[in-house]
Amino acid sequence: MALLTITAFVIFASLLYFWVKHKYAHWEKKGIKSPPVVPFIGHFGRIITFKESIDGFTKRIYEDFPNEPAVGTYRCLTPAVVLRDPELIKQVMIKDFPVFEDRGIRALDDPINDNLFVAEGETWRILRQKLTPIFTSGKLRNMMPLIDKCVGEYLEYVDGLVARGVEHEVRDLSSKYTLEVIGSCAFGVDMDVFNEKENIFRDVGNRIFSPSLLSRFAQFADFLIPGTLNFLHKTKLYNINERTQTFFLNLVNKIVGEREGRPKSRKDFMDLMIELKEQKFVEKREHDKVAKLEMSPELMAAQAVVFYAAGFETSSATMSFLIHELAFHQDIQQRLHDEICAVTEKHGGKLTYDALSEMTYLEMCFDETLRKYPIVGTLIRKALVDYQFPGTKLKIDKGTVVFLPVGGLQSDSQYFENPDVFDPERFSPENKGKIPQCVYMPFGEGPRHCIGMYS
C-alpha cells in the first residue's frame, strides 16, 4: 500500500513538474527574453505579497531589459508581455486597435462590470460613443460656474487653516476639493466636504482604492486560477463589488427620483444618463449594423462608479503632486502664479473656460507632473486573436495580456534628459512635439484613451 502511495505521488509530482515546466517555456519557445520564474507564482510574487505595485513591476521589467523590445512575463501561470519599444506599443494602441480594444480585466459577470473602463466589445463601443458627449467643450464651459463655486469654498477653507496656523496634508486638501467638484459636476450633489464631517463618498473611495485583505486574497486567487472571482460571485459565496454597487445604485435611484426622471438644465453626468434612460435602449449604428444596450439603473450605476473612481483619485493625486513640486521650485511657482493672475485679470477676474485655456504654463506644469508621477503607470490591453507584430519575430497568442509600462517610458533618459528633474519646459509649445509618439501616455493612447482627458 505504502509503495503504491509513493508511486502515485511520484507520478503526480513528475506530471506536475513537467506541466509547470511546459507552461513556463512559453516565452522561451517564442524567442522572447523573460526573468527567472518562481513556480506557480511566476513573476507576481512581489505583487501578491503587496511588496510591489503593478506599476512598480512593469517599471522594473522595463529598466532590467534595456535592449529588449518586449519582455515575456508570467502572471502566476498565465503569460503576459511587457512591451518596451514605442513602435510595438503604437501597433497595439493605435494601428491595430481593433485587435486590442479590450483591457481583459472583466473578471466578473456582474452589472457593475458593464462600466466604461472594464466593459468589452460591443458594450464598450456603445457606451464610449454615448458617454463621449459629456466632455465636449460646450459641456465643460457650462460646468465652469459649478467649479468656480468649489474653488471659492476651497479658498475659504484654506484661508481659515492659514489664519489658525493649522498644518494640513496637501493630499487631503486636494481630495476634498476634487470630491466637491465631482459631486457637483457629475452628480449635482453638494458634498459639503469642507465642513470636516465624515463623508460617505470618501469612505466609498477608500474602499475602492484600499481593498480589504479578503478582496485582495480573492483577487490573488483569481490570478492563480482565472474564474475564481466569478465562481465565488455566482455561488453567492463572496461578491467583491457588492457594497460599492449598492451604494451607487441607491445614489443613482435617489438622484433620478429627485429629478423626477427628467434631465434638469444642469447638463451634468446624471442628466446625460437620464437622457439615455429616457430612450430606454442606447444604440450604436455602424454601417448597416445596429447594436443595442438597455439603459437600466444597474448600467447607470456602473457608469457612476467608474466616473467617480476614474476621476477622483487620478485628479486629486495629480494636483497634490504638482503642489508638492511647486513647494520645491519657488521659481516655477512664481511664474505660474504670475500667469494665473495675469490671465484671470484679463478675463475680468473670473475663472472661465477661456481663461483656463489660455494658461499655457499651467498646462506645461500639469504635463510635467503627469510625466514624473504618472497616476496610471501601466496600461493594459488584451489580444483578441493570435497576433504577429509586423516586421518582428514577436507573435502573441489570442488572450495574451499586454502591459504598456508608462512609468518606465516616462522616466527613461533616452526620451527625457535628467528624468528625475521636474522641468515643465519639456512641454513648452516648441518642445512638446519632439517627444516620440507612445512614449508619453499619462492619459493612455488611441481610441480607448481617457475619456476625461482635456484636449
451 binds ligand HEM, rule: CB under 6 A: yes
443 binds ligand HEM, rule: CB under 6 A: yes
116 binds ligand HEM, rule: CB under 6 A: yes
Only segment of 32-40, 168-176, 258-266, 371-379 that touches ligand HEM (CB under 6 A):
371-379
Element at 162 (helix H, strand E): helix 137-164
86 binds ligand HEM, rule: CB under 6 A: no
In whole angstroms, the minimum distance from the beta carbon of 204 to ligand HEM comes to 15
In whole angstroms, the minimum distance from the beta carbon of 1 to ligand HEM comes to 57
CB atoms within 10 A of CB 119: 23
The DSSP line for 256-286 is HHHTTTS--TT-SHHHHHHHHHHTSEEEEEE
* Nearer to ligand HEM among residue 325 and residue 445 (C-beta): 445
Q: How far is CA 168 from CA 172, 176, 181, 346, in A?
A: 8, 12, 20, 32
Site residues for ligand HEM, 271-310, by CB under 6 A, read 306-307, 310
Q: How far is CA 107 from CA 113, 232, 375, 415, in A?
A: 8, 11, 23, 35
Q: What is the residue type of 357?
A: S
Q: Is 450 annotated as a binding residue?
A: yes
41 binds ligand HEM, rule: CB under 6 A: no
In whole angstroms, the minimum distance from the beta carbon of 147 to ligand HEM comes to 12
375 binds ligand HEM, rule: CB under 6 A: yes
Strand partners, 102: 382
Q: Mention every residue, 6+ apart, whose C-beta is less than 8 A from residue 33.
A: 27, 65, 68, 71, 72
Q: How far is CA 218 from CA 14, 229, 403, in A?
A: 29, 6, 22
* Nearer to ligand HEM among residue 176 and residue 448 (C-beta): 448
Task: Measure CA 69 to chain center.
Answer: 24
Site residues for ligand HEM, 307-336, by CB under 6 A, read 307, 310-311, 314-315, 318
* Nearer to ligand HEM among residue 228 and residue 357 (C-beta): 357
439 binds ligand HEM, rule: CB under 6 A: no
User: Which residue in the shown chain puts its C-beta closest to ligand HEM?
Assistant: 444
Query: Which of 23, 30, 128, 207 is close enough to bind ligand HEM by CB under 6 A?
Result: 128
* Nearer to ligand HEM among residue 187 and residue 361 (C-beta): 187
Q: What cell does 280 get?
A: 430606454
Q: Is 372 exposed, middle or buried (0-12, 13-18, 19+ CB in 10 A)?
A: buried
Q: Mention every residue, 6+ apart, whose C-beta is less than 8 A from residue 163.
A: none
188 binds ligand HEM, rule: CB under 6 A: no
In whole angstroms, the minimum distance from the beta carbon of 269 to ligand HEM comes to 7
In whole angstroms, the minimum distance from the beta carbon of 162 to ligand HEM comes to 26
In whole angstroms, the minimum distance from the beta carbon of 193 to ligand HEM comes to 17
Nearest to 435 by CA among 364, 380, 358: 364
Only segment of 242-250, 256-264, 387-395, 444-452 that touches ligand HEM (CB under 6 A):
444-452
* Nearer to ligand HEM among residue 309 and residue 332 (C-beta): 309
Q: What cell does 368 get?
A: 510635467
Q: Read off φ and ψ for residue 450, nearest 5 degrees.
A: -55, 125
Q: What cell does 74 get?
A: 508570467
Only segment of 39-47, 188-196, 288-296, 438-446 that touches ligand HEM (CB under 6 A):
438-446
Only segment of 16-24, 26-34, 374-382, 424-432 that touches ligand HEM (CB under 6 A):
374-382
69 binds ligand HEM, rule: CB under 6 A: no
Radius of gyration (C-alpha) of the chain in whole angstroms: 24
Q: What cell does 100 get?
A: 486590442
> Which parts of 153-247 are beta strand (E)?
none
Q: Is 94 exposed, middle or buried (0-12, 13-18, 19+ CB in 10 A)?
A: middle
Binding-site positions read: 450
**Which residue ranges make up the site for ligand HEM (CB under 6 A)?**
116-117, 128, 306-307, 310-311, 314-315, 318, 370, 375-376, 379, 442-445, 448-452
Binding-site positions for heme read: 450
